[in-house]
């Protein structure tokens, strides 16, 4: 469990979707986190936003395939 230290800025919620945030990355809270190059390079991201982007990408690819 991650301790939410910075109570002064209010409840820690994801800046994209408003869910409970897990990590503060460059001053912004995110509901998801990932590590690119191991534990010392953890980045925050919004799980919901990413899902949406993936879906949009898939939809575009589908349309492209259908039109050919
Ligand atoms: Zn989020």
Q: What is the pLDDT of residues 6-44, one digit of tens each?
A: 545 557 899 999 999 999 988 999 999 998 776 678 899
Q: What is the dihedral of CA 18, 22, 23, 27, to 10 degrees?
A: 30
> What distance in angstroms lies between residue 63's CA and the mean position of ligand 1's atoms?
28
| Sequence spans of domains, the chain | 7-66
Q: Read out DSSP for 4-21?
A: ---GGG-S-B-TTT-SBP
Cβ-based neighbour number of residue 63 at 10 Å: 10
Backbone angles phi, psi at 64, to 5 degrees: -60, -45
Residue 67 in this model has a pLDDT that exceeds 90:
no
Helix, strand, or coil (residue 43): strand
> What distance in angstroms lies between residue 68's CA and the mean position of ligand 1's atoms?
36
């Amino acid at each position: 469990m991650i301790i939410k230290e910075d109570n002064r800025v209010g409840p820690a919620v994801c800046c994209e979707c408003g869910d409970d945030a897990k990590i503060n990355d460059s001053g912004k809270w995110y509901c998801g986190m990932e590590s690119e190059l191991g534990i010392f390079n953890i980045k925050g991201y919004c799980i919901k936003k990413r899902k949406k982007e993936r879906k949009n990408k898939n939809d575009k690819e589908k349309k492209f395939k259908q039109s050919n």
